[in-house]
A = this chain, B = another copy of it.
């Protein structure tokens, strides 16, 4: 089992409140929760709002992917070099009837049955945008001006058990992905960081932008993180949920030609495209709203309610 990140007293107390009020539902595993009616009402309200705001700023193509992607996608993108500790691989049973009987016997006794499981060609989706790039590459060269994709709320996985309710192992990330020439792609990313800040502040959240880095693995990872910060490739939207540290609820990422080069996404003239993505963590935004405005949704400020649940 992965070592669990200890929760701060504030995080532990917030989780207890969420469970007590059936906003979240415990499953027995840290970072994996059911969601009650109030949680879903807020989450769906925010996700629909984000979809409307996005539609006001460029026609996006809707493209949805499941919580699983081909293992080959992780192998090809270097994810296992940067984030081996966060990945999840799907294993399944391929044995005989007598193997199945032994596996079942062990499992029923909560003993180790892993030897009967073999790696499949599927892994858990690490980020909503990962399957987008090969799908776009498969269409051939981009039209002039590039493309904008909306993934909707998409399930992703990070293997980091934690007592902080805002750090889930399985959660929904709504991404927009912009693919095209370097300058408009970077400009789009920067405009959206500002738009995201206004969106969250308009919902009464005390949000701020900050230059950030990904949680790269190991010693080499610290250098990668420093380089990422230096080049301002990642901007995060931070909100105080359960403290003392603020939590990133959205990020705005410029990949240069990393993903397009890996998957062969080409501009109209055959040059390698540049890509950027932004992702709003549905669960984290929901928790930030619940922490800020309380659990009684009907008492939330009218200007927040009217945006989340327009008549």
Contacts and interface: CB of A to CB of B under 8 A. Distances in A.
Interface string A205-223: 0000000000001111000
B67 A27 contact: no
A299 interface: no
Nearest to A121: B29
Interface in A96-116: 97, 100, 103-104, 107-108, 110, 112-114
B93 A85 contact: yes
Copy total for this chain: 2
Contacts of A78: 104, 108
Task: Give the interface centre of A113, A122, A134, A155 by most chain B CB atoms within 10 Å.
Answer: A122
B36 A62 contact: yes
A119 B117 contact: yes
A87 B124 CA distance: 14
A65 interface: yes
Nearest to A39: B64
Given A28-B70, A138-B26, A218-B100, A90 B93 contact: no
B114 A118 contact: yes
A293 interface: no
A168 to B, nearest CB: 8
A2 interface: yes
A87 B80 contact: no
B88 A92 contact: yes
Given A32-B66, A40-B64, 13 more contacts: A26-B138, A27-B65, A27-B131, A28-B134, A32-B70, A35-B64, A81-B108, A84-B100, A88-B122, A90-B124, A91-B91, A92-B159, A97-B219
29 contacts: A2-B92, A25-B135, A26-B135, A27-B69, A27-B134, A27-B135, A29-B70, A32-B66, A32-B68, A34-B135, A36-B62, A40-B62, A67-B67, A67-B155, A68-B124, A75-B107, A78-B104, A81-B104, A84-B103, A85-B93, A88-B120, A89-B114, A89-B117, A90-B124, A97-B217, A100-B217, A112-B119, A122-B169, A155-B155
